[in-house]
Structure 1
Amino acid sequence: MVRGTLTFISGGVRSGKTAFAENWLMDRNCSRLIYLATGVASDDEMQLRINRHQQDRIAYKEKWTTIEQPRKIEEIIPHILPGDGVLFDCVTTWLANELYEGWATENPCFKRNNCMEEKQQQFHKTISSWLHNGADVVVISNEVLDEPLSNISDVLLYQQWLGRLHQWLVQQSDHAFELTYGLAKKWK
């Protein structure tokens, strides 16, 4: 089996990342287009963003299959076939979901021994599995690391984990873009 490709797209909030990623995958002639949505409508603003993304996909002639998976992205491995295009939107939301998993019971992952390390390993395995299965994978993430590191311990921890994930994704990627104001800068 021929390895698929990995494209990493980062940028600020509302910089045009999702539209760029959707067009990138539609231009790759994939057999199916899979949209892995990690967002949870926890407030009105997030619900509006989710609705807008859904409407954008409906507007395209190509058919997108949306899989809503806020956590445990490894559960969709069996659903990804050779030749699929997978748009993972987005790492920052997924990371927050995983980092704070267990918050309601006052036992969030980031406070449990090795919990985040295990989630990071599973993240690596999942992305690698999709690629080895011949999928074209596009991973979107918000760039929140342009600002100084936070003095708030939870935010600093989030920044550190996000930085690790971004570095690994860029190392593994065939293409890496940063979007600003709808303009894409190719870094790799």
Structure 2
Amino acid sequence: MVRGKLVFITGGVRSGKSSFAEKYLMNEQAKRNVYVASGVAVDVEMKKRIERHQQDRESYQVEWVTIEQPRHFENILPHIQDGDGILWDCVTTWLANELYEGEMETIEERLYDAIDQLVEKAKVVIIVSNEVLDEPLSQHESVVLYQKWIGRIHQRLVAKADYAFEMEYGLSHQWK
């Protein structure tokens, strides 16, 4: 099988990232549309956001296979079939879930290995992430740690990606 495409999409909160990613995937006409969700409904706001994303996907009138994977991203690998289209939403939520669980270097390497395996199997892998580095560095140690990791992960994912987009005001800008 031919290597699939890797697409990275970033932007601010409610910038249109998920909608853009979903439409991008629809145009790929993959065997199955697989949505990998990292969000956990820990409060009312997050529950509403998850429900809104589910409703948005239902509006496409195509079947979505949803995999809830808030941590250990590599655990999705056995569920992916040749020719699938994968949309992972999102890296920033996943990182927040993983950050305090232990060896981030090991977790990060497992992520990259999983992405490499997915691209070899899937038709397209679309990764969505929030752009959180436009703000000044925080004075809080835990936030600085998070900014360090997300910045590094974003750079490495974009380096691996075939295409990289940034969303702002519902408009996409292709950087790569």
Measured after TM superposition, the shift of residue 59 of structure 1 is 1.2
Q: In the alignment, what sits opposite 1:67?
A: 67
The alpha carbon displacement at 1:135 in A equals 3.3
The letter for the 2-side match of 1:64 is W
User: Do the aligned residues in 2 keep the contact of 1:80 with 1:135 (CA within 8 Å)?
Assistant: no
Instruction: Supply the AA of the counterpart residue of 2:56.
Output: D
Indicate conservation of the 8 Å contact 1:81/1:135, yes or no. no
Report what 1:7 is aligned to: 7
Assess if the C-alpha contact under 8 Å between 2:86 and 2:122 holds in 1. Answer: no
- Note if 1:55 corresponds to 2:62: no
The aligned residue for residue 142 of structure 2 is: 154
Identity of aligned residues (%): 57
Question: How many pairs does the alignment contain?
Answer: 176
Tell me if structure 2 keeps the 8 A contact 1:88–1:138: yes
Amino acid corresponding to residue 146 of structure 2 in structure 1: Y
> Secondary structure at the residue paired with 1:40?
coil
- Match in the other structure for 1:92: 92
Q: List per-residue Cα deviations over 1:70-96 (Å, max 9, x = no partner).
A: 001111101111210000000000000
Q: TM-score, normalised by structure 1?
A: 0.92
When the two chains are superposed, the root-mean-square deviation of aligned CA atoms in Å is 0.8
Q: Deviations over 1:35-54 (max 9, x none)?
A: 00000001000000000001
Compute the displacement of 1:23 (Å). 0.2
**What is the alpha-carbon distance in structure 1 between the residues aligned to residue 150 and residue 123 of structure 2?**
24
Native 8 Å contact 1:144 1:159 kept in 2 = yes
Match of 2:174 in 1: 186
* Superposed CA offset, 1:112-151 (max 9, x none): xxx0000000000010000111331000000000111111
Q: Structure 2 length as normaliser, TM-score?
A: 0.98
Return 5+ residue gaps in structure 2 as ranges. none
d(CA) in 1 for partners of 2:49, 2:149: 24
The separation in 1 between residues aligned to 2:25 and 2:118, in whole angstroms, is 15
Please give the alpha-carbon distance, in whole angstroms, between the structure 2 residues aligned to 1:15 and 1:32: 26
Instruction: Tell me the secondary structure at the aligned position of residue 66 of structure 2.
Output: strand
